[in-house]
Structure 1
Amino acid sequence: MTTQKLDTSVRAIAVWLARSVKSLGNHSDRLNAINIFPVADGDTGSNLYLTARAGHDAVSKLDSDDIGAFLEIAARAAMESARGNSGTLLAVFLSGLSEPLKGKERLTAPLLALGLERAKVRSWSALSEPVEGTMLSVINALALAAASTLNHLKVDLESRAALDTLLSQMTQAARLAVQGTENTLPSLVKAGVVDAGAVGMMIIIDEMCAAVRNEHADFEDYEKFHGYHVQDPHVHLEYEAAQGLEVMCTITLDALGAATLRGQLDSIGDSVIMSPVNQLDEDTYRWRVHVHVPDSDAALELIRKQGEPVNISVTDLCVHDD
């Protein structure tokens, strides 16, 4: 391909979001089938699809030349409607990615690398106990590959050739990271599958690279991942479903309130994710909160002691999504 085909405008971001929604929908069944971490509830594909769709819908009719502002609106909508661990992390990734792109009309290799680094920092800090071998491993690999590529490029870093090279390195890094998940977490090693969230993240990255290149993403090589062939069984059904409830909400807190709530939720549950949706004033943010707990009432009581939650959802973790 020639680098002159690259689309570095908001249009490419809009196409990326639209195609990500479609591809996540097409792959949701296989993603659900291998979803066994952190709980075998078979909903990773569905959660990623619904979260991405919320982000896309928010900007589907938006006219803008500002890449960062456009993506920030999509990220905020995705965060407010995020589903599960995977959907929340996707929203956090989009939010972090948007930050260095604000006010920019053209995507470049240095800007994309900055966005990926910011997305990595935001994603890892959102979880109380970040775990390797998941979506986080793919996000980390993307940021490292981008930084390394910039350090070794022999062309103008602002050129289309530089961006094209960076996109190639991103796709390779994502695949290696996904392959590595099978040998990282004990539950994935036992099942002989890759992590569902990691594959979902790779789908999103492949669609990003294809949209910027004015091409269509090719998913044929995905069937090489263990457990991902269309004829493979739904692995998550072989596991005893986790007991407990997933509680999610949005709440307005200052930094102290957010830190206090995170600590309290850590003490009664796990899979705690807290990430700012947007800033309201100097020290106050809207936060998206996610936690797995045995008792939703106890979690909501702690949350209400800090503020008034909205967009509350409580989901039974022991219900398999077939």
Structure 2
Amino acid sequence: MENLKINGQDFCNMLKNASNKLEEEKDYVNSLNVFPVPDGDTGTNMSMTFKAAVSEVDGLDNEDIGEIGKKLAKGALMGARGNSGVILSQIFRGIAKGLEGKKEATVTDIKESIVQGSIFAYKAVMRPTEGTILTIIRAAAEGVKTSTAQNVTTLFEEICNNCEAMLQKTPEMLPQLKQAKVVDAGGMGLLILFKGMHQALKEELKVELNTEVLQNKTYEMPSSQTEINTEDIKFGYCTEFMILSCKVDTEAFKNYLEQRGDSIVVVGLDDMVKVHVHTNDPGEIISKALTFGELSKLKIENMREQHRSLLGIDEEKAIEKIETVNKEPIKKYGFVTVGRGEGIKAIFEDLGVDVVIEGGQTMNPSTQDIVNSINKINAETVFILPNNKNIIMAANQAVELVEDKRVVVIPTKTIPQGVTAITMFNSEDDANQNFDIMSEAIGNVISGSVTYAVKDTEQDGKIISEGDILGILEKDIKQVGKDVYAVCEELIKDMINEDSEIITLFYGEDCDKNKVDELVEKLEEKYPDMDIQCFDGKQPLYYFITAVE
């Protein structure tokens, strides 16, 4: 049917049909996702995002189209999941902007809304990548600018054709797609939505929104997914939240996030700002966001864990495990770890540790301290990360004193080993599998520290005076000097080998932040091919705790 205009009822039917179609095809879209779990499953994220948006306008058929667009945009922003969902929410925020104040929409209005959808999507992303959903909405926008369509139905047919033609070119834009012989998942999701909107118009459909989760189709994940190493994920935590404030400088906050992660999206709507970032320190970013206002819809996901699950976990068995855990009054796993410094504590808590015992060097917790901490956790199995060779025996002893739950000690001897161990934890694996994986992982961590000498001595031919700065590699003193930052730089050099990929620094409470930043800049220049991570550990006694992996 030819439509010279569309009203609120037409628009609602288009949106509901689009949502239903994407729900039906979400598993197919998921199967195209060859990237190492950027935000989970692209199809699922987009479908849940769009369904949340359309739920906000379901039943508003008699409203003006501009008002429906506004409520749709707000629903999409609040319901956005993952990178693809956030970008999708911005596309429809732009579409809503183009329809703003309209009772009905003409061909000219729809053209403007699609153009705005492209503009909003590109503005939301710090470093746009072509060959993605961004390219598809741009193709739609460029197409409507030159379209001679006289009615909305024909215009949407052209939009679908332009998007599909561009989608077929995405493998030439992204090598990962070409290697896997697939098109971009996010772009396919957007095309499905536009096709659903077109179908509703063309066939004059009266649509009910499907609120059930459909599982009608099964698709195999492309084999290229298994060719991506978990270690290749540079920033391990997908972090999303809403800032409930109208005082956020979004551009300044984007710049702040750029120094701490990637896949950054910061978008605002009225008195809310949606934030999405991949980072290795969710706590730091959340703390910064709290300076602007109250937070809502907070979600942190371990992408390395998700990726491991994709590589080896049987889906049906995983679902059975999740359902079993949900029925039980206690959780399956808990964690106790040991560390000193508010920053160190915050890092472990962000990684899911239940109890952080204050302790470490010069402050070893007792067996009773460890037992008390275990007893605080309502879990079937509790893992202990001692993070110090002098605490491992006490931890093993605690195992024998706890009767109502299983206790497993991962023999971590340093803070970096503890961080790596819990990062490798997979909630879908059993305790024995996790023990093996985590124990193996800590063997790949080279740990060091920078502290000071408390007395005059000589060791390994090195003359050491009280107050000297010491660079310690595992248990050997490798560097002796007067300057904390110079010693740390030389220690890092001693720690690196041909297989090294990541340098991690936890700086202590006595460090000068400006000098720490200068050190990081030197390391980035010196080791351009390595990932340099730096965290404020706030630990006493040790200027730096270092790790190379």
Same topology, TM > 0.5: yes
Q: Any stretches of 5+ residues in structure 1 without a counterpart?
A: 154-160, 217-228, 280-284
SS at structure 1 position matched to 2:242? strand
Residue equivalent to 1:205: 194
Q: Any stretches of 5+ residues in structure 2 without a counterpart?
A: 206-216, 316-549
Report if the CA contact (8 A) 2:26-2:44 is conserved: yes
SS at structure 2 position matched to 1:60? coil
SS at structure 1 position matched to 2:266? strand
In the alignment, does 2:237 pair up with 1:248? no
2:95 to 97, 112, 127: 97
Q: Which moved more, 1:125-134 or 1:302-311?
A: 302-311
- More contact order relative to length (CA 8 Å, sep ≥ 6): 1
The separation in 2 between residues aligned to 1:310 and 1:41, in whole angstroms, is 19
SS at structure 1 position matched to 2:6? coil
Residue equivalent to 1:223: none
Deviation of 1:130 after TM superposition, in Å, equals 0.8
Letter in 2 for 1:197: G
Letter in 2 for 1:273: V
The separation in 1 between residues aligned to 2:36 and 2:123, in whole angstroms, is 18
1:27 to 16, 25, 28: 25
The separation in 1 between residues aligned to 2:160 and 2:61, in whole angstroms, is 29
SS at structure 1 position matched to 2:243? strand
Residue equivalent to 1:174: 163
Which structure: larger Rg? 2
SS at structure 2 position matched to 1:309? strand
Report if the CA contact (8 A) 2:136-2:167 is conserved: yes
Deviation of 1:41 after TM superposition, in Å, equals 5.8
Q: How does 1:208-247 map to 2 (within 5 A)?
A: 208-214=197-203, 232-235=220-223, 237-238=225-226, 239-241=228-230, 242=233, 244-247=236-239
1:302 to 272, 278, 288: 288
SS at structure 2 position matched to 1:297? helix
The separation in 1 between residues aligned to 2:107 and 2:223, in whole angstroms, is 39
Residue equivalent to 1:69: 67
Q: How does 1:36-115 map to 2 (within 5 A)?
A: 36-37=34-35, 39=37, 42-115=40-113
The separation in 2 between residues aligned to 1:137 and 1:26, in whole angstroms, is 24
Report if the CA contact (8 A) 1:249-1:290 is conserved: yes
Deviation of 1:296 after TM superposition, in Å, equals 1.3
240 and 24 in structure 1: CA distance in 2 versus 1, 3 angstrom threshold: farther
More strand per residue: 1 or 2? 2
In the alignment, does 2:224 pair up with 1:196? no
The two structures have a TM-score, normalised by structure 2, of 0.50
Deviations 1:247-276 (A, max 9, x none): 111114557632221111110000000111
Residue equivalent to 1:260: 252
The separation in 2 between residues aligned to 1:38 and 1:137, in whole angstroms, is 20
In the alignment, does 2:277 pair up with 1:291? yes
SS at structure 2 position matched to 1:69? helix
Residue equivalent to 1:11: 9
109 and 169 in structure 1: CA distance in 2 versus 1, 3 angstrom threshold: same
Residue equivalent to 1:138: 136
Deviation of 1:75 after TM superposition, in Å, equals 1.5
The separation in 2 between residues aligned to 1:20 and 1:36, in whole angstroms, is 24
Deviation of 1:169 after TM superposition, in Å, equals 1.6
Residue equivalent to 2:261: 269
Report if the CA contact (8 A) 1:33-1:236 is conserved: no
The two structures have a TM-score, normalised by structure 1, of 0.83
Deviations 1:269-320 (A, max 9, x none): 000001112x2xxxxx411110011121122122223333211111121204
The separation in 1 between residues aligned to 2:52 and 2:236, in whole angstroms, is 26
SS at structure 1 position matched to 2:294? coil
Letter in 2 for 1:249: F
The separation in 2 between residues aligned to 1:235 and 1:215, in whole angstroms, is 41
Report if the CA contact (8 A) 1:247-1:290 is conserved: yes
SS at structure 2 position matched to 1:315? strand
The separation in 2 between residues aligned to 1:306 and 1:168, in whole angstroms, is 44
Residue equivalent to 1:225: none
114 and 255 in structure 1: CA distance in 2 versus 1, 3 angstrom threshold: farther
The alignment covers a number of residue pairs equal to 293
Runs of 4+ more than 6 Å apart: none
Report if the CA contact (8 A) 1:7-1:212 is conserved: no
SS at structure 1 position matched to 2:102? coil
The separation in 2 between residues aligned to 1:72 and 1:50, in whole angstroms, is 19
Deviation of 1:133 after TM superposition, in Å, equals 0.4
Deviation of 1:88 after TM superposition, in Å, equals 0.7
130 and 166 in structure 1: CA distance in 2 versus 1, 3 angstrom threshold: same
